[in-house]
Amino acid sequence: MSLRAGVCSDIGGYREVNQDAAFTASWGAGVADGVGGGPAGDLASAALVHRLISGGPRVADATALRDRVREANWDIGAHVRRDPALSGMATTFTAIWITVDGRLLVAHTGDSRAYVRRGAALLRQTRDDSYVQLLVERGMVRAEDAMTHPRRNIITASLRGDETDAAGVTERELTLGDRWLVCSDGVSDYLPDDEIAALLDAELDPHAAAALVVDAALEAGSRDNVTAVVADVVPGAPGAERPVLAGAAALRFTEELDDLVAG
């Protein structure tokens, strides 16, 4: 099985730069959201995505993907070491990836999210690394109030080029007919789960579905960059094609992909 994916990313009406970076391919798809308020969030997210995909599609298992993310995170640190003015730049990261033996992995750190639409259910596959999520888990904030909490954008984990950074990687069921959504918090902070589910059902084409999700988040008043990846699990083995890029990843470092040979 493989992925048939589409992506849409919009700067939104309140930001000067799109700090979201995204990629899609038949073997994987993901979103990195540069941390707002810090320096060069777009550089952090784009550097992470480009280094991650430069290794090509072949990932053996969760350990291998975790190592790939660690290497990509090292690139963020390398930028900071070259230019100390970039100190503090960071990014979230959430992605799905099909291994060489056909298993599905989810990599995650921060508050970008992954959902799967399976039949009539919309199942969230990631836990937000955020201050508000901690409050919810401690019973101090109701789950239904989390979307409007004034501190909902404070995250408790990210990738910033430090040796102690890590992304969790877990295995999930790869099921024919599933539809996955990976999105930045510019989507999930503004659209409730029931609306997301309805939007994912409204368009068969994943490109059109991703655009529909982004448009709905903008109409809901999103004050952030807005990025959505929609990926359908379809028959057939993954290819070795050059990934499709969006957001900051489509604007930075693209020359480095010219010599990319996936394998």
Looking at 109-113, 207-211, 257-261, which range is the least confident one?
Answer: 257-261
pLDDT digits (tens, 9 = 90+) for 7-65: 999 999 988 899 999 999 999 999 999 986 566 899 999 999 999 999 889 999 999 99
> CA-CA distance, 207 to 203, in Å (whole number)?
9
What is the structure's pLDDT at 37?
59
Report the candidate in 232, 194, 190, 193 with the shortest Cα–Cα distance to residue 215: 190
C-alpha distance from residue 118 to each of 50, 64, 153, 235 (Å): 30, 27, 28, 16
Task: Domain 2-124+157-257: give its CATH superfamily.
Answer: PPM-type phosphatase domain (3.60.40.10)
> CA-CA distance, 147 to 190, in Å (whole number)?
7
pLDDT digits (tens, 9 = 90+) for 170-204: 999 999 999 999 999 999 999 999 999 999 999 99
Cα torsion 258, 78, 51, 208: sign: negative
- pTM of structure: 0.91
Q: Where are the alpha helices (DSSP H) in the chain?
A: 41-54, 62-82, 131-137, 185-188, 193-202, 206-219, 248-251
Q: What is the residue extent of each domain of the chain?
A: 2-124+157-257
For the chain, the 3-state helix, strand and coil shares in percent, each to the nearest 5, are 35, 25, 40
% of the chain residues with pLDDT over 70: 88
What is the structure's pLDDT at 137?
63
Cα torsion 108, 112, 114, 120: sign: positive
